[in-house]
Amino acid sequence: MIKHLKFILLLLILLAVTGCKDDPQRHINLAQWYAQKGLVDEAILEYREVTRLLPNDTKTMSREEYELLAKAHYRLALMYTKKDWWDYALKEAETSFELLPTREYYEILTLLKKRIQLRDSDS
84 Rama sector, left if φ>0, alpha if ψ -120 to 50, beta otherwise = left
Buried residues in 57-74 as b, exposed as e (16+ CB within 10 A):
eeeebeeebbebbbbbbb
Q: How many residues does the chain have?
A: 123
**9 band by pLDDT with thresholds 50, 70 and 90:** low
Q: How much is the pLDDT for 18?
A: 53
Query: Is the separation of the CB atoms in 50 and 31 below 8 Å?
Result: yes
Instruction: Determine the pLDDT at residue 72.
Output: 97
Superfamily grouping for domain 19-122: Tetratricopeptide repeat domain (1.25.40.10)
- Interval 13-48: pLDDT, tens: 666 545 545 899 999 999 999 999 999 999 999 999
Q: Are 86 and 112 in contact (CB under 8 A)?
A: yes
pLDDT in tens, 47-89: 999 999 998 788 889 999 999 999 999 999 999 999 999 999 9
| Contact status, residue 69 vs residue 99, Cβ threshold 8 Å | yes
Domain ranges for the chain, please list them: 19-122
